[in-house]
Copies of this chain bind each other. A is one copy, B any other.
Amino acid sequence: MITRDQLAELDADDALAPMRGRFHLPEGVIYLDGNSLGPMPKATAARVAEVVRQEWGEGLIRSWNDAGWMDMPFRIGGKIARLVGAPEGNVIVADSTSVNLFKLLGAALAARPGRRVILSERGNFPTDLYMAEGLAALLDRGHTLRQVEAADIASAIDDDTAVVMLTHVNYHTGAMFDMAAITEAAHAKGALMLWDLAHSAGAVPVDLAGCGADMAVGCGYKFLNGGPGAPAFLYVAEHLLPTIRFPLTGWLGHAAPFAFEGSYRPAPGIAGGFVGSPAVISMSALEVGIDIALDAPIAGIRAKSIRQTALFAELVEQECPGHGLVLASPREAARRGSQVCFAHSEAYPIMQALIARGVIGDFRAPDILRFGITPLYLRYADLWDAVAILRDVLTSGEWRQERFQTRRKVT
C-alpha cells in the first residue's frame, strides 16, 4: 500500500523540488495537463511585458536589429537543440508544428524521389497524419500515407518508404518508441526518419544526433511551457542541409531577404526553413520556458517522471478498483513517456468532474483519461491528492451530473 506520507517523504528528498517555485500554479489546482498546455513560468509575464513595452513600444522597428528579434528563432532554436541532442545550428523556431511537418515532409519526399510511401503509426497525432495526407493529395504523384500499428512499424519499412514519420511519445497512450532502433530500421531501408517531439522535448531524453535522426519537429507549449500557441521548432540533420528543398519558400527563408530579389534563392542551411515573420511576442514567452528546462538536468527529470508515472498508475489501481478504469499506457517504464492514461467508457464526464474539483487532466476521444506528469512542478503528494479526488468522483458518482455531460468546444 502506498501512503501519502511515503509520497511526502519523496518530496522532501526531491532535488527538483525547487523548480516548482519558478511556475505560477493556481490555488486549488493539481495540474496534470502540462502535456497539453504547460503552466506559466513566473518570469514570463515580466519578459513579455519588456518585449511589448520596451522592445516594441520604445524600440519600434529598430528592435529587429537592436533587440535581436531577427536572431531569436536561431537563438531559441539553439537552446532547444541542447534539449533534444542536436547541434545548435540545426534547430530553428518557426510557425506551428503542423506547418513545420509540411516543410519537412515535402523536403523528405523531394530527397527520396523514387519512393512513394510516408509511413506512420495508426493513432499518431491527427495533425501529423492530416498534413501528410494533404501533401500527398497536393502532389498528386502517387504518394500515400501508410498507417500501421506501432509494433509493425519497423517491419513495414521497405524500399518504397520515403520517410518514416512518428511521434516519439504517443499523445493518446503515452507509449514511447525506441528512437534509435526505429531510426536505424528506417536507414537500413534507405528511408528518412522524421520524429515529432511534441510530447518529448523537455520531458524525456532525446538524442537526435546520436540516433542519426534526419528530421524532427516539436511543440513549444507543452513540456517547454512556452504559452498558448507558442511557436514550434524544426530540426534538420547536417547531412541533409546542403541539398534540402523546403516546399514553403517565403521571404525569410531567402538567402538575402532584404535584397528583395525577384526570384527565390534558398538561404543556406536550416535558415531555408523560415517562411514569414516570426511571432516575436509569443516567441519571447517561449524562451522563458526553455530557459527553465535548461536549468533542470534531463536525467533527473526522466528519473522523477518514471517514478511519478509508475506511482500514479499504482495509486489509481490501489484507490479506485472496481470502477472500470483500464490502464492504457505501457507498464514498462522504458516504453512510457511522461503521462499516464486510463481508458473508461465514461471518460468524458469523469474528466469534467475532476476538472471541476481542480484536478486538471485531459479527455482524449473516445475513451481516454489522460494525465500528464511534469516533474518540474508536480509534487509526489499531488499524485495522492489527485487520485483521492478521482476516487471521490467515482465513488460519489458526481460525474453523472448533467453539467458534466455536455461536450465543450475544446475537449
Contact = CB atoms under 8 A, between A and B. Distances in A.
B276 A62 contact: no
A388 interface: no
A275 B63 contact: no
Interface string A95-107: 1111100100010
Interface string A248-262: 111111100111111
Nearest to A96: B276
Interface in A82-115: 95-99, 102, 106
B56 A280 contact: no
A281 B276 contact: no
Contacts of A129: 262-264
A220 to B, nearest CB: 10
A27 to B, nearest CB: 9
A347 to B, nearest CB: 13
A130 to B, nearest CB: 4
B281 A133 contact: no
Q: How many copies does the complex hold?
A: 2
Contact of A37 (B61, B172, B282, B365): B61
Given A133-B263, A409-B70, A248 B279 contact: no
Contacts of A364: 260
A45 interface: yes
B263 A230 contact: no
Contact of A126 (B70, B97, B254, B279): B254
A262 B126 contact: yes
Contact of A275 (B69, B98, B138, B360): B98
A410 B57 contact: no
Interface stretch (A3-11, A47-55, A178-186, A297-305): A47-55
Contacts of A246: 134
A131 interface: yes
B45 A49 contact: yes
Interface string A117-153: 0000011011101110110011111000001000000
A62 B360 contact: yes
Interface in A216-232: 221, 227-232
A117 B123 CA distance: 39
Given A98-B251, A130-B250, A279-B282, 11 more contacts: A95-B276, A98-B248, A126-B260, A126-B262, A130-B249, A138-B138, A139-B140, A140-B141, A229-B283, A258-B365, A282-B282
18 contacts: A29-B60, A37-B60, A40-B57, A45-B49, A45-B52, A55-B228, A63-B228, A64-B409, A95-B96, A96-B275, A96-B276, A98-B251, A130-B249, A228-B277, A229-B281, A231-B279, A258-B410, A281-B285
